[in-house]
Chains A and B, each alone.
Chain A
Amino acid sequence: MPSTVNGAPVVVGAAAPATTRSAPPRRRRMSSTRWAALAFLAPLLAYLAIFYAYPLYRNVELSLHDYTPRAFVQGNAEFLGLANYADVIASSTFGPALRNTALFTLVSIVAQYAIGLALAVFFHHHFRLSGLLRAMFLVPWLLPLIVSASTWSWMLNSENGIVNSVLEAFGIGQINWLTSPDSALWSVIVANIWLGIPFNLVILYAGLQNISGDLYEAAALDGANAWQRFWRVTFPLLRPVSAITLLLGLIYTLKVVDVIWIMTTGGPGHASLTLAVWSYREAFGTGQPDFSPAAAVGNLLIVIALAAGFVYLYLQRREERS
């Protein structure tokens, strides 16, 4: 696989593993270099231990104890073992949250991918202004999430939103996008799809650029029309890039809190509550923080994300071997 494809995810924030494949050792003994390497790596290692490993350890600890706000300060929380996990899974919120997470994630990434791919193919035909317009498409991705989410909230406002106003012109009555249990989840999904299109466009466009133009010419000479060229040439050759895009999308979308929290706070009721938002709500969203179940939910989420991550790495390794 041409490596520019690897380059795109590097830029957009989730890098392909930039492992330096160890070259054949030029000298057997390189102890001074090794010490230098260690010295240059020391800040990172210390950073990872203090600001990654330790918070994660604290999080596991939270999930195994009964931390009340008071116990937080005094540090004498009762040890519960896995009871928090059992409570969370048995909770009546767990089912809806899991279902919402699955819907939110799958619908989001499939739609983002499909739209992103269509746009990438479209922009791949160079035309006047194509570079500029493609750059403009990045805007939603670069905006702070609170900005996009609050704009969407106002657009979807029941009484004064532009969306309902347009629908009204077509004779469709008022829809309570964010406040009705039937539509809240779909509203946040739409906003999230909008947010994810640029990311998919960037990666898939980079992938398209690596497909040799000769192949298209050959296919055209063989009498393939544009539709056939897409399904017989573009799509199969884009498969590795597609797999990476979808898996990165999956990992990102599982983590989403801001968009949903700002638009609906997971409500009404549990209507748009995902696992990540549930965790946030328990810990920080109410007047009474309940950190232990929140941490348990968060850790379950890590397990799901890691599982997705391992699939990603497995596919990538397989791709590199072939």
Chain B
Amino acid sequence: MKPRRTWWKTAVGLVLTAIMLFPVYWMINVSLTRTGDMRADPPHWFPWAPTFEGYADVFSDQLPALGTSILVGLGCVALTLLISAPAGFALAQLRPRGAGALGFLLLVAQMIPSVVMAMGFYAIYVRLGWLNTVWGLIIADSTIAVPFGVLLFTAFMAGIPRELTQAAKVDGAGTWRTFRSVVLPVSRNSVLTVSLFAFLWAWSDFIFASTLDRNGDQIPITLGIYAYIGNNTTQWNSIMATAVVASVPAAVLLVVAQRYVAGGVTAGAVKD
């Protein structure tokens, strides 16, 4: 192109990005504002005199909630991988009957509103006594990620050359061995993509947490923030500080996983 004439595009791009990310900036700004300045008029645009009161509150009040969220996120990743990776392998490489119908079902599954699933789970958990448990929440959260995982694995594994799996077969590897030692290692990027999204969705979930785990001893961080909003509307620096901390996984995902997200995009491209 014409590199000389693109500087103004960069300028426009910077302005647009700044507008788009203003709420994020504002969250950080408020999290550093002193409680006394919170109701200043006009509000302080820059945290000239930053305070870490808010963050101190996060560490004194919200550490258990952060721990619970990590636990739920990791549990959700494990469950999602356990179910979706073998299923993706079967759909992509073993060509079972009814694969099309199953793909269709998974697509429909993604259309079901979480609030409906939440009511169904509530009705079931009430009887089983699974309300307010971490594993109950893990199972419910995994329903967001499993259909996505299966579809992503199927798309990626369908692109693995048949010669590779056939070669393993010739060498005497059974189906399980082929899956574990050939297909899974090749699919590393999809495993990472699915894991990252499963973690992020479980970490961000509010609906299942607020319905299935609202009276638990172990609440996730999203409920921690929600409880803050309900209790003390004056301490917005603490609320925003918690929000900043809760955004860390998203930031990490963006920085570390850009490549794997891109890998996921090409996973679709490999399929014929």
A interface residues, Cβ below 8 angstroms from B? 2-4, 6-11, 13-23, 33-34, 36-38, 40-41, 43-44, 47-48, 51-52, 54-59, 61-62, 67, 72-73, 75, 119, 122-123, 125-130, 133, 135-140, 142-148, 150-155, 159-162, 165, 168-169, 194, 197, 206, 251, 254-255, 257-258, 262, 276, 279-280, 283-284, 291, 294-295, 298-299, 301-302, 305-306, 308-309, 313
Contacts and interface: CB of A to CB of B under 8 A. Distances in A.
B41 A47 contact: no
Contacts of A139: 20-21, 24, 250-251, 254
B59 interface: no
B26 A162 contact: yes
A56 B112 contact: yes
B225 interface: yes
Interface string B199-218: 01001101100110010000
Interface of B: 1, 6-7, 9-10, 12-14, 16-17, 20-21, 23-24, 26-27, 30, 38-39, 41-43, 82-84, 86-87, 89-92, 94-97, 99-100, 102-124, 126-127, 139-140, 142-143, 146-148, 150-152, 154-155, 158, 175, 179, 193, 197, 200, 203-204, 206-207, 210-211, 214, 221-222, 225-226, 229, 236, 239-240, 243, 246-247, 250-251, 253-254, 258, 261, 264-269, 271-272
The 8 tightest CB contacts between A and B, nearest first, are A7-B268, A55-B120, A15-B151, A144-B204, A40-B90, A37-B96, A37-B94, A142-B250
A143 B111 contact: no
Contacts of B139: 51
Given A18-B271, A125-B1, A294 B266 contact: no
Contact of B116 (A51, A128, A137, A302): A302
A253 B139 CA distance: 24
The main secondary structure of chain B at its interface with chain A is helix
Contact of A159 (B39, B91, B120, B239): B39
Contacts of B250: 139, 142-144
Contacts of A276: 113, 115
A43 B86 contact: yes
A2 to B, nearest CB: 8
A40 B116 contact: no
B113 A38 contact: no
Given A8-B265, A122-B13, A298-B116, A148 B23 contact: yes
A291 to B, nearest CB: 6
A54 B83 contact: no
A48 B83 CA distance: 10
A56 B116 contact: yes
Nearest to A25: B95
A160 B225 CA distance: 20
A22 B179 contact: no
Contact of B6 (A15, A55, A125, A146): A125
B119 A13 contact: no
A40 B152 contact: no
Contacts of B207: 257-258, 280
A306 B111 contact: yes
Nearest to A148: B23
Contacts of A283: 115, 118-119, 122, 211
Contacts of A308: 111
A59 B269 contact: no
B200 A128 contact: no
A61 B94 CA distance: 37
A11 B193 CA distance: 8
A280 B17 CA distance: 34
Contacts of A125: 1, 6, 9
Contact of B206 (A119, A135, A146, A151): A146
A234 B258 CA distance: 27
Contacts of B150: 44
A280 to B, nearest CB: 5
B246 A4 contact: no
Candidate in B108, B147, B268 with the most chain A CB atoms within 10 angstroms = B268
B113 A150 contact: no
A7 B159 CA distance: 12
Contacts of B264: 7, 10-11
Nearest to B162: A23
